[in-house]
Structure 1
Amino acid sequence: MPTQPSPPRSATVPAASSTPSTGTATKADAGTVLVDGNRRIAHAEYGDPGGTPVLFFHGTPGSRLLATLLEPAATEHGIRLIAFDRPGYGRSDPQPDRTVRDAGANAIAVLDAVGIETAGLVGFSGGSAHALATAATHPDRVDRVDVIAGIAPPRFSDSRSRAPRLLAGLARRASSVLGSVLQADAWVVERRSPAAATSRYTSDAVDEPVPDDVATIVKADLLEAVDRSRSGAVTEFRTTAAEWDLPLERLAEEGIDVWFRHGDTDTNASIADVRRFSQALATAEIRVLEGADHLRTLTRAGPTALCEQAASP
């Protein structure tokens, strides 16, 4: 679908470029949209500037830099890929009182700033909640949604993993402690090889090395996510563990297709939870990637999703 310019509804100002502390060539140039008069959201573009617009939602924690992994596919398939730092990540100002439902307003502000009327959405991991929130609250601005290694609302969750519950509990009852944990974790990651970052998103069940360039981008993304603030991750660990309060029925009412893509060895996000969730959405389908963990689901399914986004009517 071609880009459709729309009247600007938010002011955009350029932000100075920077290089990730890892010293990589990862694209970091960002523009900034001003929201609510004084809050900034940073965004960057990848791929084909004149291509089909797709808005990318990074994980939790994460940043716009993760979209670098999809830049070759975006260029190949004619995709104008826009990625942005959600509030409290990277160069975007915190919005600690936001809920999952508020995600749509921030995403639409970015689309307005870059002159896009409607776009496809791709949400990775924790970013899937915010992609679905955008589609449910602003269906007139969304063409389709691809959920890659996504998470499910609590009512569909039967996960026995302790880690998500622990993080959510810390976010609710001891947010400053969780912030300190995230800061300490980034300190360790910064001083170790990129494998220290990718180990958080991979499974020992997958006997496949992570390419060096992929690991370098994942490390840069993680460090950028918490460099200025830990508010984004703390907020999202708390809010996604509560009911999302979204009008998800609007997806079917508006005919918005949702594609779930999930690896069968993903230990970060439960495939059983996502199966239950996808079955509850009338216009959703799930595709299972054999032998794919959390990170490999993104690197394998991401290019396929962009190819299909480009082919969508």
Structure 2
Amino acid sequence: MPSVPPIPATDWLPDDSETETLALPDGRRLAYATYGDTDGYPVLFCHGTPGSHVAARLLATPARERDVHLIAPDRPGIGNSKDASVTLEDWPDDATHLLSHLDVDEAGAIGFSGGGPFALACHRLPEIRRIALLGGSGPPSIGSTGRVQQFVGALARHAPWALGRLFRLQRWFALRRDPSYAVGFVAEETPETDALAADEVARIVRADMLTSMTRGPSGIIREQRLLSQPWPFALEDVSVPVTVFQGQNDANVAPSTGKALAQRLPDASLERVDSDHLGTLTTAGDDALAAIQRRTRV
């Protein structure tokens, strides 16, 4: 497992000093953080659902070592980003405003978990030359999720008030329990690494969960509903190269999903990862950055 930047033991929830904000044309506030090498090759990081920019901290060290400028926005309703009814079809517009703000004219994109569809949606942006998915969700037509995620999607569609209560309860427990509580939602295995590294990963995962609901669960509920419905674009229309990294012990996104995505995307390859959902990010994140660099620098 790559090293990760430490979060102090008492700093479970990063303050706003970690993020910057961009005023979008419609007046909304978009929060984002950057990691790695600020002079390096830009890569847009699309966090999971639930999730936030904090998850990108897990790739900060490999990004710096590979000269990658990792750009991690909080989508609407997440962290310090103002909530709005932004869909999968709308998200690329927010992303292109951010890339333009940072003077980026060429970039790759990484989508982790529920961020996979948002990364793929950016295929229509001229700036995006390559995409990597790390345990990325697929459209409902390929049966992408486990039973828990199916249940959450059903609540988002039919009883969002109940899902809101569930997320608030989870956040309440996460604030009061050991960081391993949060890890249990995204991992099924005990990391085979030293205790210090595992502890730092757990702290980041906990901070990621807490940040995702800084201003309530409305943004997460909207995204869960979006991801449980047909996407506004076809996989066959994704014109940029995609590398799909899929954990073979992933209980959140079924291994068959990665295989189906790689088969249906026009220019895609499948990399099987011997890990669970979180492990796909922590163990294959460096490979994802390398895959983007290989294809964008030829």
Q: Would the aligned equivalents of 2:13 and 2:207 in 1 still touch at CA under 8 Å?
A: no
In structure 1, the residue matched to 2:279 is 296
Q: Would the aligned equivalents of 2:243 and 2:291 in 1 still touch at CA under 8 Å?
A: no
In structure 1, the residue matched to 2:118 is 130
In structure 2, the residue matched to 1:113 is 101
Residue ranges of structure 2 left out of the alignment (5+ in a row): 1-6
TM-score, with normalisation over the residues of structure 1? 0.86
Amino acid corresponding to residue 180 of structure 1 in structure 2: R
Q: Deviations over 1:262-301 (max 9, x none)?
A: 11000010111221222011201111012x0001110011
Question: Is the counterpart of residue 176 in structure 1 residue 168 in structure 2?
Answer: no
1:229 and 1:110 mapped to 2: Cα distance? 24
Deviation at 1:164, TM superposition (A): 1.7
Q: 2:227 aligns with which of 231, 236, 240?
A: 240
Q: 2:183 aligns with which of 178, 193, 198?
A: 198
Question: Is the counterpart of residue 166 in structure 1 residue 155 in structure 2?
Answer: no
Q: 2:135 aligns with which of 149, 154, 175?
A: 149
Deviation at 1:22, TM superposition (A): 4.7
Secondary structure of the 2:69 match is: strand
Change (3 A) 1:195 1:44: same
Question: Is the counterpart of residue 48 in structure 1 residue 48 in structure 2?
Answer: no
Change (3 A) 1:63 1:231: same
Q: Deviations over 1:210-253 (max 9, x none)?
A: 7111111110111010011212210111011100011443433x
Amino acid corresponding to residue 225 of structure 1 in structure 2: S
Q: Would the aligned equivalents of 1:90 and 1:229 in 2 still touch at CA under 8 Å?
A: no
In structure 2, the residue matched to 1:269 is 253
Q: 1:221 aligns with which of 177, 188, 208?
A: 208
2:75 and 2:90 mapped to 1: Cα distance? 11
Change (3 A) 1:154 1:20: farther
Q: Would the aligned equivalents of 2:135 and 2:280 in 1 still touch at CA under 8 Å?
A: yes
Secondary structure of the 1:126 match is: helix
In structure 1, the residue matched to 2:3 is none
RMSD in angstroms over aligned alpha carbons?
2.0
Q: Superposed, which structure 2 residues align to 1:253-264 within 5 Å?
A: 256-264=240-248
1:117 and 1:229 mapped to 2: Cα distance? 34
1:225 and 1:141 mapped to 2: Cα distance? 27
1:104 and 1:247 mapped to 2: Cα distance? 15
Deviation at 1:37, TM superposition (A): 2.8
Q: Would the aligned equivalents of 2:14 and 2:211 in 1 still touch at CA under 8 Å?
A: no
TM-score, with normalisation over the residues of structure 2? 0.90
1:69 and 1:199 mapped to 2: Cα distance? 17
Amino acid corresponding to residue 255 of structure 2 in structure 1: I
1:246 and 1:277 mapped to 2: Cα distance? 14
Amino acid corresponding to residue 43 of structure 1 in structure 2: Y
Amino acid corresponding to residue 128 of structure 1 in structure 2: G
Secondary structure of the 1:150 match is: coil
Secondary structure of the 1:45 match is: strand
Amino acid corresponding to residue 294 of structure 1 in structure 2: H
The share of aligned pairs that are identical, in percent, is 35
Residue ranges of structure 1 left out of the alignment (5+ in a row): 1-18
